[in-house]
Amino acid sequence: MCKITYFVQPCPTCGRKLQVKVEYLGLEVSCQHCGAKFTSQDPTILAAPIVNPIEDALHRADAYLGKGMPTSHFPATFGTN
């Protein structure tokens, strides 16, 4: 019988710790708790710095809320409708 190996990775959206199978390393997975999708990565390797933290935060919030807005389709100005 084959033993399955897991690593623990926090969800980048809700922060809960997830057990991810090693064979899913580098693939898109979804959080069982909030449903956010993200790429699994080795927790021992430091993540690359975020290029645009504001846009990253907006996409994470949209993923958490289930909206999943497409990249760069935000309105040019806010509050004008």
CATH of the domain at 59: 2.20.28
Look up tokens 């390797």; give the residue.
45
pLDDT tens-digit readout, 42-79: 766 655 666 777 787 788 788 778 765 555 555 555 55
Better-scored residue on pLDDT, 30 or 81: 30
pLDDT tens-digit readout, 54-64: 787 788 788 77
Are 65 and 59 in contact, with CB atoms under 8 Å apart?
no
Are 38 and 29 in contact, with CB atoms under 8 Å apart?
yes
Q: Domain range for residue 18?
A: 6-65
E strand spans, the chain = 6-10, 17-21, 28-30, 37-39
Predicted pLDDT of residue 79: 54
Predicted pLDDT of residue 29: 92
Q: Residue 20: beta bridge partners?
A: 7
Is the residue at 55 inside a domain?
yes
Task: For residues 59 and 37, give the distance between their C-alpha atoms in angstroms, rounded to a whole number.
Answer: 11
Predicted pLDDT of residue 67: 64
